[in-house]
Structure 1
Amino acid sequence: MLQHLVDRNPQVPSDQLVGQLTPPAMFDDVSFASYIPDPAEPSQTEAVRAAEKFASGLGDKKGKRGLFGRKSKTATGSGLYLDGGFGVGKTHLLASIYHAAPSPKAFGTFVELTHVVGALGFNNAVEQLSGHSVLCIDEFELDDPGDTMLISRLLTELSAQGVSIVATSNTLPGQLGEGRFAAQDFLREIRSLSSIFQAIRVDGPDYRHRDLPPAPDPVTSDRLHELAEATDGASLDEFDALCDHLAKLHPSRYKKLVEGVSAVFIDGVHAARDQAVALRLVVLADRLYDAGVPVTVAGARLDEIFTEEMLAGGYRKKYLRATSRLLALSRFSVASAG
């Protein structure tokens, strides 16, 4: 039976928010051994070695020097930072570290983590995460002063309680926050964060788009409805109505919003009308990509959702990542239909 995302109002109990911080299903079976380094990119081989070494030390914290170079009665956590472009396998390595770590452990995107902390409250979040062996943060980014202060405090607290931190990002730690806000006003916090991590570079082209054609053209509205009706478990929504619905849901609920949906069909797609809408679409794109849900659209192409003005601003990398993922899902949709 055809469903509509706008009719869904998922609820996530607060005591389940940390529990749902696990790798996307597509990374359930990954390991260091299954990461195939590009022979033309030696940094990828070095990154695998660094990640394996980091993971091997997660079970034993005795006598370890902390992230900030201090010794304490309670051993502090270590930190690893994997930096590189889109689609070079950083998330694969991050998930491999998660799988190799002893429980309890947590894995989430930077955005997911900020949403969980916001929903739980800072002290409650620290309490629930403090017993973990490792916190894995995918797509680490600092988009505003509030996030800078929040994550700086969170990682400092967790590190002091023995939690190790591993993160991936497209920006080196010392450059976090550049182009998004007055970074000089928060330089102390940014430097504190960069001191947490040993930075490892991972180079290479985006595997999602190697030797692939451009984004698939949108289908007609009539064809979209026909395909949606013929797909078991699919959802069909009008773009503006979906954007309005997303505004009513806390982003921590987007994962549940698309849970169990086999394919997403969206009619009337056009460029996002403002930054707030665009950023919600980024979170939705991440959750759809995590779940491997094919996306088919009518209207504008998926690489036209974020305007040139948006792509020239401080959230450029966020929008480019979302576009990369949406295009991968749209090609998946074409392949599935074929």
Structure 2
Amino acid sequence: MQPMPDYSISVVEHLKALTASGSLQVDSAQMDVAKSLDHVLAALKRKRPATKSSALGWMFAARKKPAWIVRGLYIHGSVGRGKTMLMDMFYAMAPCNRKRRAHFHEFMADVHNRIAAHRLKFKNGETKQADPVPPVAADLFSQAELLCFDEFSVTDIADAMILSRLFSELFSLGCVLVATSNVEPDNLYRDGLNRGLFLPFIDLLKRYVDIVTLDSPTDYRLEKLNSQPVYLIPLNERTDMAMDASWTQVLHGRKALPLDIPMKGRSIHVPLAVDRMARFSFADLCEAPLGAADFLAIANRFDTIFIDRVPRLGPEKRNQTKRFIILIDTLYDHAVRLYVSAEAMPEDLLVERRGTEGFEFDRTASRLFEMRSAEYLAQTHGKRAAE
């Protein structure tokens, strides 16, 4: 018997195997990006592995300049073109003992927590280092020399103001960044508050990563859409009754009660919850002062979420729109089963597509479509069965 080929050595070979088997369509745009990812893999393999001679090895290593810099990759393009699939392949093959893959908002929430912890140590006299960024960057690098971000986007001013300093430190240590986004670098944080202070990060990014476009003509997410009755329109009494019926069905006779999730000295109020199911209104989640860390806590606590009465989002609802984008990103990234009643179909919820929100909402609409698909719903079922 002939031995099976090893497709783990190359993203290109893995992609060829999937197309040969009929699992994927031949897509030259995806193949071009796969070649770029393989260049990064090859460079990582050539890079001399760091050694850890003592418990303080990473601390001393962080003070030295890397032997050479491995250029990362920033992949941008329209939603549903296969960016995440290619990232999956690359990350599985990356020859790094220290690597981390995260949604960008989740990573930045971690960064802000580390900075707050360091400032508290400084205040208590436990460290003489007043600037938290260098030690936080060194600690992040000690845990991951390769950072892979899904859906790189910048919408929060706190993130925007720290990215340049943080990644100056990370890149100088030899950290390699590979990211996917549906926003090209020059449009990151577009129309954001004090954007001029963010622009040095774009220049920094271009010095350390190659920029490639995944411009496939096919939106594969829409191709595999098999709608399920989990996204209901329009907003009327009949839709409200349908949501109530679905909620009653998933309860299986159990009684839902209000719940509070502890969150750093405060709490996130959940109007109705039982086991790992919760029900909110759009106002509960997007008109309240909640952020990425709050939505992450909700996604970790529940695997089925109902959201009632999502309105059309006009310019007067810009803050609510930003929260909704981050919310859907987080629920999607954690395979949460979502039931929604809304005023319009996903692609029609945003009234005006302008600036960053316009770019970001294209992804939100695509994810809301995919979260109705049979494949996504099977994924959420698998998640629940494993818990």
Q: Give TM-score scaled by structure 1 length.
A: 0.74
C-alpha contact (below 8 Å) 1:294/1:333 kept by paired residues: no
Which letter maps to 1:280? Answer: R
**TM-superposition CA deviations, 1:129-179 (whole Å, max 9, x none):** 112220112222344665444222222211111211111122333454445
1:284 pairs, out of 327, 330, 333, with 327
Shift of 1:291: 2.3
Matched, 1:105 2:99: yes
Gaps of 5+ in 2: 1-7, 50-63, 116-132, 252-275, 379-387
- Per the alignment, residue 223 of structure 2 pairs with 210
Structure 2 CA distance, aligned partners of 1:333 and 1:50? 29
The residue type equivalent to 1:129 in the other structure is L
Q: Are 1:223 and 2:242 matched, yes or no?
A: yes
Change (3 A) 1:181 1:239: closer
1:80 Cα offset (Å)? 1.2
**How do 1:1-80 residues align onto structure 2 when only pairs under 5 Å count?**
32=11, 33=14, 36=19, 38-39=25-26, 41-62=27-48, 72=65, 74-80=67-73
Alignment partner, residue 261 of structure 2: none
Q: Name which one, 1 or 2, has greater alpha-carbon Rg.
A: 2
SS of the residue 1:81 aligns to: strand
Preserved contact between residue 235 and residue 263 of structure 1 (Cα < 8 Å):
yes
Structure 1 residues 93-116: Cα deviation after superposition (integer angstroms, max 9, x where no partner): 223222223222111233223322
Alignment: residue pair count: 296
Asked if 2 retains the 8 angstrom alpha-carbon contact of 1:264 and 1:294, the reply is: yes
Question: Which has the bigger relative contact order, CA under 8 A and spacing at least 6?
Answer: 1
Cα-to-partner distance string for 1:286-305 (whole Å, 9 max, x where unaligned):
12111222322234235278
Kindly provide the amino acid, as one letter, of the partner of residue 184 in structure 2: L
Q: Name the counterpart of 1:125.
A: 136
Distance 2:93 2:334 in 1: 22
Q: Separation in 2 of the partners of 1:333 and 1:230? A: 21
Secondary structure of the residue that 1:85 maps to in structure 2?
coil
Paired residue for 1:81, among 56, 70, 74? 74
Structure 1 gap segments, 5+ residues each = 1-28, 64-70
Q: How does 1:241-252 map to 2 (within 5 A)?
A: 241-244=284-287, 247-248=289-290, 250-252=291-293
Tell me the equivalent position of 1:26.
none
**1:93 aligned to 86, 107, 111, which one?**
86
Contact 2:75 2:83 in 1 (8 A): yes
Change in Cα spacing, 1:305 to 1:109, as seen in structure 2 (3 Å) is: farther
SS of 2:44's partner is: coil
Query: Cα gap change, 1:50/1:304 in structure 2, threshold over 3 Å: closer, same or farther?
Result: closer
1:124 shift after superposition? 4.8
- Given that 1:228 and 1:234 are in contact with CA atoms closer than 8 Å, whether structure 2 keeps it comes out as no
- Say yes or no: does 1:298 pair with 2:291: no
Question: Counterpart in 2 of 1:315?
Answer: 357
**Partner residue in 1 for 2:269:** none
Asked whether the equivalents of residues 75 and 160 of structure 1 are also in contact (C-alpha less than 8 Å), the reply is no
SS in 1 for 2:280: strand
Mark the CA change 1:144 to 1:265 in structure 2 (over 3 Å): closer, same or farther: closer
Deviations 1:176-204 (A, max 9, x none): 44454676665444222222211222122
Instruction: Output the CA distance in 2 between the equivalents of 1:149 and 1:94.
Output: 27
Query: 2-side partners of 1:99 and 1:242: how far apart?
Result: 34
- Distance change in 2, residues 1:144/1:256 (3 Å): closer
CA-CA distance at 1:257 after TM superposition = 1.0
User: What aligned pairs does 1:130-141 form with structure 2 within 5 A after superposition?
Assistant: 130-131=141-142, 132-141=144-153
Partner of 1:10: none
The structure 2 residue matched to 1:255, chosen from 271, 291, 296, is 296
Kept in 2, the 8 Å contact 1:59–1:133? The answer is no
Note if contact 1:74-1:160 (Cα within 8 Å) is conserved in structure 2. Answer: no
Cα pair distance change 1:244/1:305, threshold 3 Å: farther
Paired residue for 2:177? 165
Q: 1:73 and 1:257, CA in 2 relative to 1: closer, same or farther beyond 3 A?
A: closer
Task: Give TM-score, length-normalised by structure 2.
Answer: 0.65
